Amino acid sequence: MRAINIGILGLGVVGSGTVEIVNRNREEITRRLGCEINVTQGSARSTNKPALEKFDIDITTDSYAVINNPDIDIVAELIGGTTLAKELVLAAIAKGKHVVTANKALIALHGNEIFAAAKAQGVRVAYEASVAGGIPVIKAIREGLTANKIDWLVGIINGTGNFILTEMRDKGRSFEDVLKEAQALGYAEADPTFDVEGIDAAHKLTILGSIAFGIPLNFEKTYTEGISTISTDDVEYAKELGYEIKHLGIARKVDAGIEMRVHPTLVPDKQLIANVNGVMNAVMVMADAVGPTMYYGAGAGSEPTASAVVADIVDVVRYMKTEEVRQVPYLAYQTDALEAQQIVAIDDVQSAYYLRFHAEDKSGVMADITALFAAEDVSIEAVVQKEAVSDVSPILMLTNVVKERAINSLIEKLSALGSITSKVVRIRVEHLQ
């Protein structure tokens, strides 16, 4: 089957990430899609893009050259902004190209017009990357929750703001102080207004509210309040009361209509979304059949955003093509691309371990135990010896990562020590990093 050609408008952070992923994960993507996709052309302010030299891409400064290129099937708009981007997207649609975009402002402000044009031309406009970066939350709401009436959704949909609030809480630092660090780290722009005043979040909320409730995009009616007025005192007091302050976008169906608002919010600390920290994003949706669901991940960054761009490209290819690739494969990969792989025997699995046993509370016991660890080449991450009861102490040990075979052999030897008076309990430990 003919490969699909992608043209990228804007080879900046997300555009370069998209090229990188399409090339690096080519085999993986083709095994899933059943058809190859290539980024063959891109536009940028300068054609000098050393990071992209290793890839076979025609780089031009003229975005219209990409749009008008008859070999390009799908145009990815990754320029940002709403003036040129709108013009280019509408031009691409007029040319009958399918469009993928990561541009939340564009969709929030001009989506109604863009979708009308796309519908008239019979082309797709996909925008998963515009909300919450790499989290497939548009897909989850639009397709996964399609059987539900949605009651409300709330989102931590600006990573910069969440990073600032998390630092204020954890370190008692002021808003201004953390903002400066965020700017130095590249999380926040030189002009941080869009992030900290909630405008960026309002763009995303506008999109989420529309797909949740079936209303046209309504950015100008979304209420927006930033976090620049939040004091360290309030963060601290909220914590004492059992709450976290989060900058939430909230869309809720009420009798009077739809609430659409972005503002700092106290959330009970037992709520999972209250525990979403740092630059991470999350969207929690309450729906009538499924109840609460939540979608968590990186809301920005080159590859996380590009992950969503490429997923959209794959969806568009499935839409464009006939029978052969239209189906999402049963097991994610094309049937003939499934590959049997060795399933690792549990003895060969590597893990850290928690061990617990009771040992006699007398001198030399710990030396015997740790000598066994050394002999089996199992390194110890932590040891806790609890207070002895009737001359027997519970001992907890955390190990580094070793093969299960080694830990089992160690346990056998530990169990043979006369000074260990109980069974050795073994539970695996995963740090998930």
Residues between 352 and 381 with contacts to a second copy, criterion CB under 8 A: 354, 356
| Residue 188 lies near a second copy (rule: CB under 8 A) | no
Integer Rg of the chain from CA: 27
Contacts of 134 (CB under 8 A, 6+ apart): 297, 298, 299, 301, 303, 304, 305, 307, 308
Bridge partners (DSSP) of residue 193 are: none
- Greatest Cα pair distance in the chain: 84
Binding-site size, a second copy (CB under 8 A): 140
Active site residue 204: yes
Q: In Å, what is the CA distance from 288 to each residue of 138, 259, 293?
A: 18, 18, 11
- Phi–psi pair at 249, nearest 5 degrees: -95, 130
> What is the smallest separation between the CB atom of 123 and a second copy, expressed in angstroms?
10
Of 11, 82, 83, nearest to 41 by C-alpha is 11
Which C-beta is closer to a second copy: that of 157 or that of 248? 248
Distance (Å, whole) CA 72 – CA 8: 10
Segment 117-136, which members bind a second copy (CB under 8 A)? 118-119, 122, 124-125, 128, 133-136
Within 13 Å, how many C-alpha atoms sit on residue 163's CB side? 23
Can you state the angle between helices 13-24 and 26-33, rounded to 10 degrees? 70
Segment 137-166, which members bind a second copy (CB under 8 A)? 139-149, 154
Which C-beta is closer to a second copy: that of 9 or that of 284? 284
| Residue 303 lies near a second copy (rule: CB under 8 A) | yes
Would you tell me how many other CB atoms lie within 10 Å of the CB of residue 267? 20
| Residue 328 lies near a second copy (rule: CB under 8 A) | yes
The one among 257, 362, 377, 400 contacting a second copy by CB under 8 A: 257
- Three-state DSSP class for 97? coil
Given the rule CB under 8 A, which of 59-67, 88-96, 161-169, 267-275 is the region that contacts a second copy?
Answer: 267-275
Helical (H) or strand (E) element with 126? strand 125-126
Bridge partners (DSSP) of residue 125 are: 99
Given the rule CB under 8 A, which of 41-49, 73-81, 177-185, 313-321 is the region that contacts a second copy?
Answer: 313-321
Which C-beta is closer to a second copy: that of 385 or that of 419? 385
The one among 163, 187, 194, 296 contacting a second copy by CB under 8 A: 296
| Residue 200 lies near a second copy (rule: CB under 8 A) | no
Which C-beta is closer to a second copy: that of 70 or that of 429? 429
| Residue 25 lies near a second copy (rule: CB under 8 A) | yes
Of 301, 295, 316, 318, nearest to 102 by C-alpha is 301
> What is the smallest separation between the CB atom of 221 and a second copy, expressed in angstroms?
4
Segment 220-239, which members bind a second copy (CB under 8 A)? 221-223, 229-231, 233-234, 237-238
Distance (Å, whole) CA 194 – CA 188: 9
Which C-beta is closer to a second copy: that of 288 or that of 412? 288
Which C-beta is closer to a second copy: that of 60 or that of 275? 275
The one among 105, 168, 245, 410 contacting a second copy by CB under 8 A: 245
| Residue 12 lies near a second copy (rule: CB under 8 A) | no
Of 375, 367, 365, nearest to 409 by C-alpha is 375
| Residue 288 lies near a second copy (rule: CB under 8 A) | yes
User: Positive or negative, the Cα torsion across 179, 181, 187, 192?
Assistant: positive
Which C-beta is closer to a second copy: that of 60 or that of 408? 408
Segment 330-349, which members bind a second copy (CB under 8 A)? 330-333, 335, 337-344, 346, 348-349
Pairs from 401-404 (Cβ < 8 Å, separation ≥ 24): 401/350, 401/351, 401/352, 402/350, 402/351, 402/352, 402/353, 402/377, 402/378, 403/347, 403/348, 403/349, 403/350, 404/346, 404/347, 404/348, 404/349, 404/350, 404/351
> What is the smallest separation between the CB atom of 208 and a second copy, expressed in angstroms?
10
> What is the smallest separation between the CB atom of 383 and a second copy, expressed in angstroms?
11
Distance (Å, whole) CA 41 – CA 77: 12
| Residue 182 lies near a second copy (rule: CB under 8 A) | no
Segment 37-96, which members bind a second copy (CB under 8 A)? none
Can you state the angle between helices 104-121 and 199-213, rounded to 10 degrees? 40
Given the rule CB under 8 A, which of 15-23, 78-86, 174-182, 183-191 is the region that contacts a second copy?
Answer: 15-23
Which C-beta is closer to a second copy: that of 298 or that of 420? 298
| Residue 390 lies near a second copy (rule: CB under 8 A) | no
> What is the smallest separation between the CB atom of 98 and a second copy, expressed in angstroms?
11
The one among 311, 402, 410, 411 contacting a second copy by CB under 8 A: 311
Catalytic entry in 49, 86, 104, 204: 204
Question: So which residues are the catalytic ones?
Answer: 204
